[in-house]
Structure formats: C-alpha cells, structure tokens
Amino acid sequence: MVHPQYKYLPKRIILVRHGESQGNLDGSAYTTTPDYKIPLTPQGLRQARAAGEKIRCVVSDYGNSLNWKVYFYVSPYERTRSTLREIGRSFSRKRIIGVREECRVREQDFGNFQVEEGMKVIKETRERFGRFFFRFPEGESAADVFDRVSGFLESLWRDIHMSRLHHDSSSDELNLVIISHGLTSRVFLMKWFKWTVEQFEYLYNPCNCEFQVMQLGSGGEYSLAIYHSEEELQQWGLSPEMIADQKWRANANRGDWNERCPWYLDAFFDHLADSDDSADGETGD
C-alpha cells in the first residue's frame, strides 16, 4: 500500500510506443511522406485497440479498483494520435480526465524527406559514432531529444504538484499514459532513473504498442519492476545492476539514494578508499 502522503502522485506512468506504422513496414515511405504524417497500418490499428484493452486492465487493477482515472499525453505525429484514438475506445468519457498534445515527446527528427540508401549509410555511421551523441544531418541526436524530454518532465512535475491533473485528488487514482515513440521512451526512462549514456547505448526499443509501466512503490519511488518481470527488463536492455535498482525502488523511501548500484560511484572512480584514514597521502597527527 502506498503511504497516504504520496496519494497526490500518479499511481502509474505508462509509456506506450505507437502501433505499427507504414514506415515500420516499408522504409521507403519516408522518401515521399513527411515523418509526422506516416500513418498506422491496419495491423497497427489492431495493435492499438488491443493495447487499450490491456492498459484498461492494468489501471483498473483488473477490475478491482473503482476510482481510477487516466490522463493522456500524446506526440503530435499521425501514428501516435491514431494510436491514442484506438486506445481510447477502451475507456468511457468519465474515466478520462484529459488529453494533451505534447510536442516535446515527438519522434527524434531525422531531417526532412529521407533518401533510403543514404539513410542506411547514415545509420551505419551512427553505430560507429555512438547512438546517443550522433546527430542526423538536418536532424537531432538522442542527446537533443534528452534535452527536450527533460523540459517536458519539469512541466509534468509542475502539473502533478499543482494538482492540475486531478479532479478529486482525495479519491481518484491517477494514471498518466504517454503515447510516444521508441527512442523518446528510452530517453524518458534514462532521464527519470538517471541512467548513464553508456547504459543508454545498450537499451532497445519496445515493440509496437508495447507499453512500459512505471508504478508507484510503497515508499513513493517509481519502479518498472513492480509490474514487469525481470525477463522483460532484460529484453529492453537493462543490465543486472539496473534491474537490481528497479527492484530496490519498488520499496524504497522517496528521496533515498541507492548507493549499492555500481554506476552511482564505481562507474566513475577506479578506486575509493573505505575511510579517510586509509586514503593515500594522508597521515594522522
């Protein structure tokens, strides 16, 4: 059970990747259609409807919760808006507090119209350069996406703390659903959980219409390990240390710092003395 002092926090923040798009099916679509206008395929529409049913089961605790509500954020791209419309079929109007188009959770910009063969070479170069810092010609790097997602998170926290997303914060269980893109979701998690650039490089996109549930733990921290299995976290590229941290967060007190995870200290220093007395070059009086 979540402590009463955290009742104003959303119970879940759910990241949803859009359904299968024409671009996922055929990369040549980007040569004639602007990225933001790429539509879902019939399969993508079916995936979105199925995802809506699954998300409703999750936010209602499989029918055991009565006072749940959802608030949607959606990327302005055609494929994410279509995904939202299909997901919305699973919810009644009284369950939806609101929806907001949010440009900062849009897809990574790859430039304008894409030349298919040229993009293949560019993506091969990205693998050699590093996926986080490589900037597409006339487009963005993942680092650029990180910056705008960081701005979105600041706005999100203001909305949460000012109770802008609640109708009745004393009784409603709020669930935020963010319908976005693969890389944007990875960057969102990276920012939220303070993952390093090196850790980001090993992450994988969720599948089309796969969703990732950050659930509020008993101590006020969010964790992927409350809803998801260790196998799922491994499939997304989380290391054993990252998975251990997610498990710790499930019951940790909000604001605590998990010093047991190696990247907090060990990833940045070759060796740290256990105490001041044992530090090299220091002597007592």
DSSP classification of residue 8? T
pLDDT at 112: 85
Distance CA 285, CA 106 (A): 61
Q: How far apart are CA 181 and CA 206, in angstroms?
A: 9
Please state whether the predicted TM-score (pTM) of the whole model is above 0.75: yes
The pLDDT profile of the chain, 285 residues, written as one tens digit per residue, is 666 566 689 999 999 999 999 999 998 899 899 999 999 999 999 999 999 999 999 999 998 898 999 999 999 999 999 999 999 999 999 999 999 999 999 999 998 887 777 888 998 999 999 999 999 998 999 999 999 999 999 999 998 888 777 655 556 799 999 999 999 999 999 999 999 999 999 999 999 999 999 999 999 999 999 999 999 999 999 999 999 999 999 998 887 877 667 667 777 887 778 788 755 555 555
Residue of 82, 76, 84 lying closest to 55 (CA atoms)? 84
Instruction: Out of 18, 166, 181, 228, pick the active-site residue.
Output: 18
Question: Is 253 known as a binding-site position?
Answer: no
18 is in an annotated binding site: yes
Burial-class residue 274 by CB neighbours within 10 Å (0-12, 13-18, 19+).
exposed
According to the CATH classification, is domain 4-278 in 3.30.43.10?
no
The verdict on whether residue 79 carries a ligand-binding annotation is: yes
- Measured CA to CA, the distance from residue 30 to residue 115 in angstroms comes to 8
**Closest to 188 (Cα-Cα) out of 212, 209, 208, 165:** 212
Question: Which two structure tokens, joined as six digits, stand for 82?
Answer: 């279509």
The response to whether 208 counts as a known ligand-binding position is no
Asked if residue 212 belongs to a known ligand binding site, the reply is no
Q: Is the dihedral of CA 80, 177, 184, 240 positive or negative?
A: negative
Is position 167 annotated in a ligand binding site? Answer: no
Residue 144, helix vs strand vs coil: helix
Task: Determine whether the annotation assigns residue 175 to a binding site.
Answer: no
To 5 degrees, how large is the angle CA 134–CA 137–CA 142? 35
Q: Is 164 annotated as a binding residue?
A: no
What is the model's pLDDT at position 269?
84
Q: Which of 78, 86, 102, 107 is catalytic?
A: 107
Could you tell me which residues come within 8 angstroms of residue 236 by beta carbon, excluding any fewer than 6 positions away? 203, 204, 206, 212
- pLDDT at position 98, please? 93
* SS3 of the chain: helix, strand, coil, percent, to 5: 45, 15, 45
Task: Return the pLDDT at 167.
Answer: 58
- Residue 275: the pLDDT is 81
- 107 noted as active-site residue: yes
CA dist 248 and 218 (Å) reads 11
Residue at token pair 């409807």: 49
DSSP 229-251: -HHHHHHTT--HHHHHHHHHHTT
Residue 198 a catalytic site member: no
Q: Give me the helices (H) in 73-141, please.
A: 78-88, 116-129
Question: So what's the pLDDT on residue 222?
Answer: 97
The DSSP output letter for 218 is: T
For 233-252, letters b (16+ CB in 10 Å) and e give beebebbebbbbbbebbbeb
Whole-number Cα distances in Å, 188 to 34, 53, 140, 147, 167: 24, 24, 16, 10, 26
